[in-house]
Amino acid sequence: MFKILLPIAALLSGIALLLLGTGLLNTLLALRGSGEGFSDQTLGLLGSAYFAGFILGTWLCPKLIRRMGHVRAFAFLAAAEAVSVLVHALLVDPVTWLILRVVTGVALVGIYTVIESWLNTQAPPERRGQVFAIYMAVNLGSLAVAQQLLRLDSPMAFSLFALAAILITAALMPVVATRLAQPVIGNTRGLSLRRLWQAAPVACSAALLSGLAMGGFWGLGAVYAGRMGMDTPQIATFVSLVIIAGAASQWPLGMMSDRIDRRLALAIISAIAVGGGLLMALLGHFGQWLLLAAFVFGAGSFAVYPAAVAHLIDHLHHEDILSGNASLLMLHGLGAAVGPALAGWLMGMTLPLALPLFFAAMFGLCTLYALHQARGGADRIVDEPAHYIPMVRTSTEVLGMMLEDAETTSTPDKGGTEARDSIPTDPRSTANDSGH
C-alpha cells in the first residue's frame, strides 16, 4: 500500500489542505454573516450560490483543464479560491458574498476534477478501490477537522479568513511540485432525466431530496446551532459530529443496503435521518443533547446519496452507468442549490426550528416514496446487483474510481448466495427483469 500511496501523496496532501481551508470557510461565513446581521434568507442564498457555482463548474472546468493542463488549472483555481476568501473579509456585503460563493463553487469542483482524474490514472486498476476509500476518508476527515479550527479565534476577526486562505494556498505547493504525468479529461455526457427516472425513480427522488436537505445543512446548519445558543467551539463540534457520524455509519448501512431490497434500505436510512432532524428540533435548546441529535442525523443523511447511486446502478446496463451517475450527481447538485435558499426562507418566515423540520420533511418524503415503491413488488435488477460504496458528492471524475471499487468487491448477494456483487462488465448482457 505504501508504494501505491507514495506517488499520489502530493495529490492527497493537496486536497487535504484545500478542504481544511474550504471546510473552515464554509462554516465561518455562516457564523460571520449571522454576526453581521444577515437575514436567514440571505444566508440561505449564500449556500445556494455556492452550489450553483458547483453546478456551473461541472460545465466550465473540464474545458479549462483541457486548455491549461492539470497543474496550471489547479494553481489557477486554488488561487481564485484563496483570493475569494480574503475578499470575503475585506468586503462584508451580501451581494459581493453571493458572487464570491459562486466563484468558490466553480473553483472547488474544478479542483476536485483535477485531483480525481489524476488519481484515476495513477492508481493501478486492481488498487483503485483502495485509493478511492482513502480519498473519501481524506475528504471527510479534512472537513471534520476543519470545523475545529473555528476554536482558534472569533468568526468576527480577520485571522480565520487569513488561515483559510493560507491553507488553500499551501495546497498549491505539493501539487505544483509533483512530476506525475498529466491525464486526459474525457467527456461524460449525462443520461436524460426522463430515462434516469424510468430506470430508477427511487434513486432520482433520493438524490434530489437528499440534495435539498444536505444543501440546507451545509448552508445553514452552523447558523441553526448558533440560534440555539451554542458558542463557536460548540458549533464546531456540532458540525464535526454530523460529518464523523456520516463517515462511521456508511459501512454498516452499506452492508444492509447490499443485503436487502435497496428501496427498503433507502427508506430505513432516510428514516434515520428523519429521526435525527426531529431530534434536532426537539432538543435544540438542550445544549449537549443537540450533539446527540446531530450524530443521529449525520449517520442517516450521509448514507442516502451513495445508496441512491447503488440503486441506480442496479437498474442500468454497463454502458449507461457513467452517464447515469453523472446525471444523478447533477440532480443532487440541483437540490443542493435550491435547498439552502428554501430552508433560509422558511427560517426567516417562521423560526430557526424550521431548518431541522425541513431536513425531516425532505428525508420523510424520501422514506415514504421508497416504501411506496418497495410495496409495488420485488426489485428487478438489470444484469447484476451493484455494491454500496461510501462516498460524498464531488465531481463526475470520481465515478471512475467508484466503478473500479465496485468491480473489485465481492459480497453475498441479496438472495444470500455468493456472487460477484459488482457493476456488470459485459455491455452485451441483457436484463434479468428490466424495470423497477
Residue with cell 465496485: 406
> Domain for residue 423, yes or no?
no
**pTM (2 decimals)?**
0.84
Q: Within a 10 A sphere around the Cβ of 327, how many other Cβ atoms?
A: 25
> Domain for residue 128, yes or no?
yes
Nearest one of 61, 163, 148, 47 to 100, comparing CA atoms: 47
Q: Is the pLDDT of residue 411 over 90?
A: no
Q: Which amino acid is at 49?
A: A
> Domain for residue 268, yes or no?
yes
Query: For residue 48, what is the DSSP state?
Result: H
- 127-141, 267-281, 283-297, 405-419: segment of lowest average pLDDT: 405-419
Looking at the chain, the whole-number percentage of residues with pLDDT higher than 90 is 52
Query: For residue 389, what is the DSSP state?
Result: -
Looking at the chain, the whole-number percentage of residues with pLDDT higher than 70 is 83
Of the two residues 296 and 260, the one the predictor is more confident about is: 296
Query: For residue 396, what is the DSSP state?
Result: T
> Domain for residue 235, yes or no?
yes
> Domain for residue 427, yes or no?
no
Domain range enclosing 257 = 2-409
> Domain for residue 433, yes or no?
no
Q: Which residues of 203-218 are buried (b: 16+ CB within 10 A; e: fewer)?
A: bbbbbbbbbbbbbbbb
pLDDT tier for residue 65 given thresholds of 50, 70 and 90: confident
As given in the structure block, the three cell numbers for residue 248 are 462511521
Query: Rounded distance, CA 198 to CA 338, Å?
Result: 24
Query: Rounded distance, CA 229 to CA 234, Å?
Result: 9
For residue 79, how far is the Cα from the chain centroid? 23
CATH number at residue 277: 1.20.1250.20
Dihedral Cα 323, 324, 326, 332, nearest 10 deg = 170
Domain count, the chain: 1
* CA within 13 Å, CB half, 288: 0
Q: Distance from first CA to last CA of the chain, Å, rounded?
A: 40
Nearest one of 224, 249, 232 to 140, comparing CA atoms: 249
Query: Rounded distance, CA 184 to CA 70, Å?
Result: 9
> Domain for residue 428, yes or no?
no
For residue 46, how far is the Cα from the chain centroid? 17
Query: For residue 69, what is the DSSP state?
Result: -
Residue with cell 459581493: 96
pLDDT tier for residue 421 given thresholds of 50, 70 and 90: very low
CA dihedral for 61, 29, 328, 383, sign (positive or negative): positive
The pLDDT assigned to 363 comes to 97
Query: Rounded distance, CA 220 to CA 224, Å?
Result: 6
As given in the structure block, the three cell numbers for residue 148 are 475545529
Q: Within a 10 A sphere around the Cβ of 243, how many other Cβ atoms?
A: 23
> Domain for residue 424, yes or no?
no
Nearest one of 103, 100, 108 to 21, comparing CA atoms: 108
Query: Rounded distance, CA 70 to CA 83, Å?
Result: 20
As given in the structure block, the three cell numbers for residue 333 are 447538485
The pLDDT assigned to 428 comes to 30
Query: Rounded distance, CA 171 to CA 101, Å?
Result: 19
- The answer to whether 196 and 323 have CB atoms below 8 angstroms apart is no
Q: What digits encode the pLDDT tens for the residues 387-402? A: 777 767 776 666 666 6
Mean pLDDT of 129-154: 88
pLDDT tier for residue 431 given thresholds of 50, 70 and 90: very low
Q: What digits encode the pLDDT tens for the residues 88-128? A: 999 999 999 999 999 999 999 989 888 888 887 776 666 66
The pLDDT assigned to 417 comes to 35
Q: Is the pLDDT of residue 369 over 60?
A: yes
As given in the structure block, the three cell numbers for residue 156 are 468576527
